[in-house]
Amino acid sequence: MGWQGAADVADRLFDWSRFLQQSAALTYKNLLVAWRCRRATLLRLMAPFVFLLLALVIQLALDANSKREQRIRAVELSVPEAISAIPDCSQDLYIGQKACRTFLYSPNDSIVVQDIVSNIKASNTPAIPDDKVQGFASRAAAEQYMLAHPETTLGAVHFNVDASGIKYIIQTNTTTKGFRG
């Protein structure tokens, strides 16, 4: 028996008319079972809709909760606020008594940046001690420090001094903090 004989056996085993007859019989059987167990059928059909409704209600509740929080809400017309002093990092509820830095800055090899940082430390109320400020050679180095030491600084100031002037980026610690009292 060669390939031809195997093909004939396969054709006889898989007869299309018999396949359609068995499919119709199984469909009829499943309809009878569904009709006899109406409650179970109804539950099977309604379960996806109930879970989708539950997910929708949860999403609406989370959205409503987020809209009440000022820090998450989109503010289209903001009101300017006076700039207050930089708080001491040890006053932060989540940093607490851990060793911390009030702010980081970069680059630390520029005389102009050193003067600006000295003025920031001196003019803050209360003055920021030298051990609460740390400089880095580059922005990447400061970010590496913040990644390696999470929750130990309030933010960083990255200066760019060139012929056109002084530009800066203020980077704050935006770690999400949840507190329920």
* pLDDT per position as a tens digit, 30-45: 999 989 999 999 999 9
Check residue 26 and give its pLDDT. Answer: 94
Check residue 176 and give its pLDDT. Answer: 60
Check residue 65 and give its pLDDT. Answer: 76
Tell me the average pLDDT of the chain.
Answer: 82
Which residue's structure tokens are 């809209």? 67
Q: How confident is the model at residue 56 (pLDDT cuts 50, 70, 90)?
A: very high
- Are the CB atoms for 151 and 95 separated by under 8 Å? yes
Buried b (16+ CB within 10 A) or exposed e, 108-121: bebeebeebbeebb
Residue 158 has pLDDT above 80, yes or no: yes
Check residue 87 and give its pLDDT. Answer: 78
Q: Within its chain, how far is the Cα of 19 from the centroid?
A: 52
Check residue 54 and give its pLDDT. Answer: 96
- Give the length of the chain: 181
At residue 167, the 3 state secondary structure works out as strand
CA dist., res. 139 & res. 121, Å (int): 20
**Least confident window among 73-77, 79-83, 128-132, 138-142:** 73-77
Check residue 74 and give its pLDDT. Answer: 65
In sequence order, which residues have a C-beta less than 8 Å from that of residue 122 and are 6 or more positions away? none
Q: Which residues pair with 101 in a beta bridge?
A: 153
Q: Which residues pair with 168 in a beta bridge?
A: 159
Residue 47 has pLDDT above 70, yes or no: yes
Q: Which of 13-17, 49-53, 92-96, 140-144 shows the highest mean pLDDT? A: 49-53
Check residue 181 and give its pLDDT. Answer: 44
Check residue 129 and give its pLDDT. Answer: 85
